[in-house]
């Protein structure tokens, strides 16, 4: 798979593996959005650019 990472969460993944994926890649992003959103609403302006990678999870 040149240029791509193998997906780390598959239908056969355990609940623990999926929870680990959420804890490492999804929840931190949501926390940052929740922390910055009030200021963006107050200013009535702002952009969120999210760049993530699951490459660290590829085995």
Q: How far apart are CA 7 and CA 9, in angstroms?
A: 6
Summarised one tens digit per residue, pLDDT across range 29-49 is 899 999 999 999 999 999 988
Please indicate, yes or no, whether the overall pTM of this predicted structure exceeds 0.75.
no
Q: What is the DSSP letter of 3?
A: T
Which 3 state secondary structure label does DSSP give 1? coil
Residue 9 scores a pLDDT above 90: no
Q: How far apart are CA 28 and CA 34, in angstroms?
A: 10
Average pLDDT over residues 16-26: 84
Q: 35 or 25: which carries more pLDDT confidence?
A: 35
């Amino acid at each position: 798979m040149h240029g791509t990472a193998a997906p780390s969460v598959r239908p056969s993944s355990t609940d623990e593996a999926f929870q680990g994926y959420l804890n490492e890649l999804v929840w931190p992003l949501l926390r940052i959005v929740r922390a910055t959103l009030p200021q963006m609403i107050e200013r009535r302006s702002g952009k969120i650019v999210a760049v993530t990678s699951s490459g660290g999870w590829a085995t």
